[in-house]
Amino acid sequence: MGRKFALFAVIALLIVIAPSIPVFGHGGMEPPPVNLGGKQTTVFVKLDPPVVSGEEGKDIFLNVRFYDKDTNQNFKEVTYRIWMIKDGQKILQEWFYDSDGDLTVKIVPKNTETVKVFGDREPQLNGLYNRAGPVVIEGPIFVKKGLHNLFIEIFSVGTTRTLVDPPLQFDAWVGVAHEEVYPVSYNGGSYDVKIRNYYDKIENFTFDPNTLTMQFATPFNWSKEFIGKVGMLHVEMFIPKTLSEFNTYSLQGTINDIPVPVFVDTYAEENVVVHYTISAQNLKSLADKVSENGTIDEAVFGIAPAETVMREIVTPLKTENYTVEVSWPEQIFPDNLIPLSLFFSDANGKRLPNVTYDLILEKDGQRILNRNGVSTIEGFASHDIIFDSQGPITVRIEKIKGSEESVEMTINVVPEFPIGILLPIAAAFGIYFVLYRRAKSLFPRL
């Protein structure tokens, strides 16, 4: 009995710590790192605002930060050459320079035939640089919806005379959002469902009142080469809360009829916001299944109320000026992609748009993950993470909105005992222990 009780006690302890097992948001893009003199380097590309409409009169700020992945420090005296390509056509090819390795360019979308640039140039490589203000570019940039390819080359680091030979090359993609509103009729009511897509046009929206399933499609290239460059598939749905069947966290998402996790945000007063955030790694796995069905030229999204209740754990972490809600699924299984979501608010609980931050994971004092991020306009960001070992992991969100404020939590990974398995086992042992005590009181010789 003592050994059985000890086992029960261990399981009970694991249940106490198991709920703390958590293990990319639109608005930022980070290509794979490239070696420079033994250092792992990359660029972080973001747009401000992260949701770009491409309308004239709405300026866009493009930021390209070149930095050391291991130390998270910018390189200095950086010369860039940036190509912008849309639908195979070159829109822009220009040289830029930034003394801090943190280039910002103001883009003024205009439906013109040519591009105009305004700014000073450094004498060595003729790169445009920020002097009294950011470099300004006017022309047909971001006026078309969908993905834009930024091909970035790094020509000098340290000084403009310290050339990088051969130049470092990075492939990044940023999107101009499509938004469409579709009327849905159900049980005598009419509801407007908005869809926001950063990749291409939205097509073939349908709603089946019998299965309560909404579907829509968008052109999408499922080739492994393209998926490796895009980094993440992110689409958002805004469903009125008055359509009560969808006013729940328990929604099941699909892509080409394959189940995928979705993040459901009920913070807004009027709408439930559904985020499809599929990482490159998960996209590659999906691509294998999609190719079996032959639908390799489009992504078909579906959403419906889930048949079973889906539970998640939400932990609010606070600083003086910010609150970060960290959310992950209750059930964690080893070597699976775990979706981790972040929601950013101010001290009064109001959601904050376009929040920049660093996500850091550490184990045994060693940094195992370091990612930059930018939240959506709704204050949402997500990351897919795989845990391959057990034990305590420190999760830290730093440099919130460029400040020195950060939040931190410690989680415990127990891959051998997923909580979905632990709970029934623990319950069984608990019942056994109670029955044993009762039997012993009736039959002392047991």
87 burial (CB, 10 Å; 0-12 / 13-18 / 19+) is: exposed
What DSSP state is assigned to residue 32? P
Cβ neighbours of residue 130 closer than 8 Å, sequence gap 6 or more: 98, 103, 104, 119
278 and 182 both lie in a single domain: yes
Residue 443, pLDDT score: 46
Residue 49 and residue 234: Cα distance in Å, rounded?
16
SS3 call for 142:
coil
Cβ neighbours of residue 333 closer than 8 Å, sequence gap 6 or more: 415, 418
With beta carbons less than 8 A apart as the criterion, state whether 256 and 332 touch: no
DSSP string of 297-352, one letter each residue:
SEEEEEEEE-SS---EEEEEEE-SSEEEEEEEES---TTS-EEEEEEEEETTS-B-
Residue 217, pLDDT score: 94
> What are 394's strand-pairing partners?
362, 410
219 and 295 both lie in a single domain: yes
Domain containing 233: what range? 178-305
43 and 171 both lie in a single domain: yes
Residue 414, pLDDT score: 65
SS3 call for 138:
strand
CATH number reported for the structural domain that contains residue 170 in this entry:
2.60.40.1940
Residue 244, pLDDT score: 93
In a domain, 232, yes or no: yes
Residue 235 and residue 287: Cα distance in Å, rounded?
17
In a domain, 73, yes or no: yes
Q: Which of 260, 283, 305 is the last residue of a domain?
A: 305
pLDDT averaged per 10 residues, the chain (length 446)? 34 29 47 91 86 75 91 93 91 95 94 91 93 89 86 95 94 84 95 91 94 94 79 88 92 92 85 87 84 80 85 85 86 65 91 87 87 81 78 88 89 57 42 42 48
Residue 336, pLDDT score: 63
211 and 278 both lie in a single domain: yes
405 and 423 both lie in a single domain: no
Structure tokens at 196: 């926001």
Please identify which residue in the block is written with the tokens 């993950």.
369
408 and 425 both lie in a single domain: no
In a domain, 28, yes or no: no
251 and 300 both lie in a single domain: yes
H/E stretch holding 290: helix 280-293
With beta carbons less than 8 A apart as the criterion, state whether 13 and 425 touch: no
Residue 165, pLDDT score: 92
201 and 240 both lie in a single domain: yes
In a domain, 146, yes or no: yes
In a domain, 24, yes or no: no
Structure tokens at 412: 């415990």
Q: Which of 175, 190, 221 is the last residue of a domain?
A: 175
In a domain, 348, yes or no: yes
54 and 171 both lie in a single domain: yes
In a domain, 22, yes or no: no
- Taking the mean position of all CA atoms in its chain, how far away is CA 290? 22
Cβ neighbours of residue 20 closer than 8 Å, sequence gap 6 or more: 313, 315, 409, 410, 411, 412
With beta carbons less than 8 A apart as the criterion, state whether 142 and 54 touch: yes
Structure tokens at 331: 């059930």
319 φ, ψ to 5°? -120, -170
Please identify which residue in the block is written with the tokens 């007063």.
269
Based on the structure, what is the number of domains in the chain?
A: 4
Among positive and negative, which fits the CA dihedral 312, 315, 316, 319?
Answer: negative
- Closest-CA residue to 174 (of 262, 100, 264, 107): 107
Q: Which of 115, 148, 175 is the last residue of a domain?
A: 175
In a domain, 30, yes or no: no
282 φ, ψ to 5°? -70, -35
376 and 402 both lie in a single domain: yes
